[in-house]
Chain A
Amino acid sequence: MTKKKKFKENFLRNIPLLLMALPGIVYIFVLRYIPIYGIIIAFKDFRIHKNGFLYSLMTSKWVGFKNFEFLFKTQDAKIIFRNTIGYSLLFLFLGMIFQIIVALLLLEMTNRRTVKVYQTLIIFPHFLSMVIVAFFVYVFLAPNEGVINNMLMAMGFQKIEWYMEPKYWPYILTIVTLWKGTGYGSIMYLATITGFDQELYEAAVIDGATKWQQTTNITLPLLKPIISIMLILGLSNVLGADFGLFYQVPRNIPMLNPATNVIPTFVYRALMNMGNIVMPAAAGLLQSVAGFILIIVANTVVRMINPENSLF
């Protein structure tokens, strides 16, 4: 049977299923794929024309990479890119370790009620807006009324000007991120581990394996595929950063910038008082393209090591 014939047969047989998928395909094609065309705006000197957005888009002048220049022209470009990539990788790896640990700990609890309570408590921060988190952090770190400074002074230490010293902020931001994201992120691992074949563990117990040996020899190896998929997906966002975390939590204080300036905060400050839509588009495109390349590279590397663990 030729390929063509086979395709036709398959097609005819699956018509009902294809019809069911059609609305979704049309939806994604119309709302997700066609608008991609609009990314050319990042390479244009956008002028507004009477005949509507698409006409304006088509007739605007091409300017090449001019709209990207502002990202690299600043003296801080090095710091901004270093911060963005550094924090992303740190949060990705550290977050993953903590999430797995929390998932493992939760699994060891036998009382279902306490598990529910713990789970709810650690997932809760995920639903808080960064603006509110910024208030929480301020309550702890405020120069005079802050909880931590009061504790330090009560113990006879000097108080610390948290909002003046960039050197503390990598730690503060990491703690906030872990506090906020660990509970929610651990759900994925919890669900995966719950799905593992229990007979493996029973067999191991009979052979006299300790909890630790069970974890290192059964759970972690079985988790490998999901870990590598999460890593590949996580890498795609390496040039992105949570705007709220880097803008709201450090209160946009210039002294902290060496530790807190990332691409989204820079773009926001650069364009906040303007009606420019082109430069943010350029910054967003750069982030997406970099993410896309990283996904492909990471996936290729993973596939070279072990094809089963790759995403595609």
Chain B
Amino acid sequence: MYRNKWLILLVIAAMVLAAALTGCAKENPPTSGGDTGGDATDKPPGEPPKVEDLPMVDIIWYQIGEAPNGSDVMLEKLNEYLAEKIKVKLDLRWTEAGANYNEKMNVIINSGEYYDICFTSNWAAYYFELAPKGAFVALNDMLPQYGPELLKVITEDIWEGSRINGKNYAVPVLKDMAELAVLNVNVKYAEKYGIDYKKLGDDINLVTEALEKVSAEIQEDPNFIPIINYPVGGAHGQTALPYQQIIWPFGVAWDCKDPNFKPDYKVVNILETPELAELLNIIRGWNEAGYYNRDLMAPDTGRDFYTDGNWFLDWYGYFPYHEYSQSLSLGYKVDVVPTTPQKKTTASLTGAMHAIGVVSDHPERALMFLNLLNSDPVVRNFVGYGVEGVHYDLVDGKVSFGDRSPEERYSPWQAMLGNNTLLYLLENEPEDKWEFFHNYNNNAAISPILGFFPDRTNIDTELTVMNSIINEYERYLWNGAIDPKVKLPEYIQKIKEAGGDKVINELQTQLDAWLQTR
């Protein structure tokens, strides 16, 4: 008896304490600016608030990328400007890309820690996973009042890419909004072996021929790599298939090379298509002929192929004009050959975004800041290049680093920060860079299912199991390290057993419903 009583008491105490803690969290929201969103209600809707009436607030912004050198100096200057403009004091917190940023944001968001703005995307701080869970504020109602410039700068088709059930939970970063897999070509070797590399994009058999020719180089240089493969596995080959994925490996047929293509909106398992099997067989052939860097299963040695320079091809994700910047920094000529037209897809439109956390006490002020970041060149160039005269000089309206060493420069992960078209040009960049950007974006082939994103609720278990299978096979199938003739049927079978048909049916139902609403 006596012991039992103690136990009960203990349990009760624990429950009371837990309840008390919950209460605390509810009653004491952190108030850094002393204001809890009251300014939203005072104004008639639709009008931007008057800056004089606003209280000063702190905005915490988590951004992907290593903290650039001199970030403090930049923030100090930027905050002087922001205080005047929108009465905001910005606290910009950088975190390296990769697992670091993901894990950190995951913990911050799931544990309910305070922040205002965070970088999100389909590949880091997973937007499509976190937004439906209620992590971010829906912006649609706030935009006309607090983000009028955003509505002008970012066009409707871009907003559509990240819309979930009619709501936008993040502000897309304006950059290259279409995805494109290119072959990076080391021109030196193309010339040496007389390869007309510009044609390589037309037919994959030409690539095989070119690789065969150029692999003679291995006799001279045993470290030479005809085509690069990264140990983490690059699946750029996937984008060359005439299918558009919804959730890999499920998707619908779409031949982006054919402008008159009529999509049938029938969900299939792309793994079962003949085109995929053929492509994998070709890749397997490349591996067996020894065109890839040797020993694909070896641990990542961190070798920098580009610095070494003895490679010929690399299947690569394109960023407009990267051939210029790469050639310049590497000291040898790199050219690109597109393997498809550039495509606007749900993924390409959600590569970089900024969301406002649901924990934020002043979401409308955070939105005002994002509005400024994406429309005011002063703010964008502050976060992008640092302080003029300290981190860079403006020569004829272009950014020059003068004789500052790379360590002295302020160099963040530029493309992820905000509307890139507001940036000054670098001194060696062509004048038509942004024009090229606009053309690149506007001439993209548009995915037939752009803006469709499935609700995982009913198929979450199946997709989780499949994710495990996918992570088992994909990496070694796409570099030909395992035989697709044996392993692809096994892979398909496992996907099927994990509930492939159920997922296809569910996706088909959702897609049909989505088509009705369009």
The interface of chain A, by Cβ under 8 A from chain B, is: 3, 33-34, 36-37, 46-56, 58, 66, 69-70, 73-76, 134-135, 138, 142-145, 163, 251-255, 257, 266, 269-277, 279
Known interface pairs A49-B134, A54-B25, A272-B467; A253-B297 also in contact (CB < 8 Å): yes
In the complex, what residues of A have CB within 8 A of residue B26's CB?
51-52, 55
In the assembled complex, 7 residue pairs joining A and B whose CB atoms fall closer than 8 Å, in A order, are A47-B133, A50-B358, A54-B25, A74-B468, A138-B299, A271-B464, A274-B467
B317 contacts A by Cβ under 8 Å? no
The interface of chain B, by Cβ under 8 A from chain A, is: 2, 14-15, 17-18, 21-22, 25-26, 29, 102, 106, 109-112, 125-126, 129-130, 133-135, 294-295, 297-299, 358-359, 461-462, 464-465, 467-469, 471-473, 475-476, 482, 487, 494, 497-499
Determine if B129 and A275 form an interchain contact, defined as CB atoms under 8 angstroms apart: yes
A10 vs chain B, min Cβ distance (A): 13
Partner of B298, one of A66, A76, A138: A138
Determine if A53 and B25 form an interchain contact, defined as CB atoms under 8 angstroms apart: yes
Determine if B112 and A53 form an interchain contact, defined as CB atoms under 8 angstroms apart: yes
In the complex, what residues of B have CB within 8 A of residue A138's CB?
298-299
Determine if A48 and B133 form an interchain contact, defined as CB atoms under 8 angstroms apart: yes
A216 vs chain B, min Cβ distance (A): 43
Determine if B295 and A73 form an interchain contact, defined as CB atoms under 8 angstroms apart: no
In the complex, what residues of B have CB within 8 A of residue A33's CB?
14
Determine if B18 and A253 form an interchain contact, defined as CB atoms under 8 angstroms apart: no
Which 8 pairs show the lowest CB-CB distances between chains A and B?
A52-B25, A270-B468, A53-B112, A269-B468, A52-B112, A269-B471, A54-B22, A275-B129
Partner of A51, one of B25, B473, B475: B25
B13 vs chain A, min Cβ distance (A): 9
Minimum CB distance partner of B27 in chain A: A51
When chains A and B are docked, how far (Å) is the Cα of A31 from the Cα of B17? 12
Known interface pairs A48-B112, A55-B22, A75-B498; A142-B298 also in contact (CB < 8 Å): yes
Determine if A143 and B482 form an interchain contact, defined as CB atoms under 8 angstroms apart: no
Minimum CB distance partner of A161 in chain B: B297
Among B26, B297, B358, B482, max chain A CB count under 10 A is at B297
When chains A and B are docked, how far (Å) is the Cα of A34 from the Cα of B135? 25
Among A34, A56, A163, A257, max chain B CB count under 10 A is at A56
Determine if B297 and A73 form an interchain contact, defined as CB atoms under 8 angstroms apart: no
When chains A and B are docked, how far (Å) is the Cα of A138 from the Cα of B106? 33
Determine if B476 and A254 form an interchain contact, defined as CB atoms under 8 angstroms apart: yes
Known interface pairs A66-B461, A255-B482; A3-B2 also in contact (CB < 8 Å): yes
In the complex, what residues of B have CB within 8 A of residue A251's CB?
297, 299
Determine if A55 and B25 form an interchain contact, defined as CB atoms under 8 angstroms apart: yes
Minimum CB distance partner of A53 in chain B: B112
Among A134, A251, A253, A276, max chain B CB count under 10 A is at A276
Determine if B22 and A254 form an interchain contact, defined as CB atoms under 8 angstroms apart: no
Minimum CB distance partner of A144 in chain B: B295
When chains A and B are docked, how far (Å) is the Cα of A3 from the Cα of B3? 12
When chains A and B are docked, how far (Å) is the Cα of A140 from the Cα of B473? 25
In the complex, what residues of A have CB within 8 A of residue B298's CB?
138, 142
Among A135, A144, A270, max chain B CB count under 10 A is at A270
When chains A and B are docked, how far (Å) is the Cα of A252 from the Cα of B468? 12
When chains A and B are docked, how far (Å) is the Cα of A22 from the Cα of B295? 59
Determine if B110 and A73 form an interchain contact, defined as CB atoms under 8 angstroms apart: no
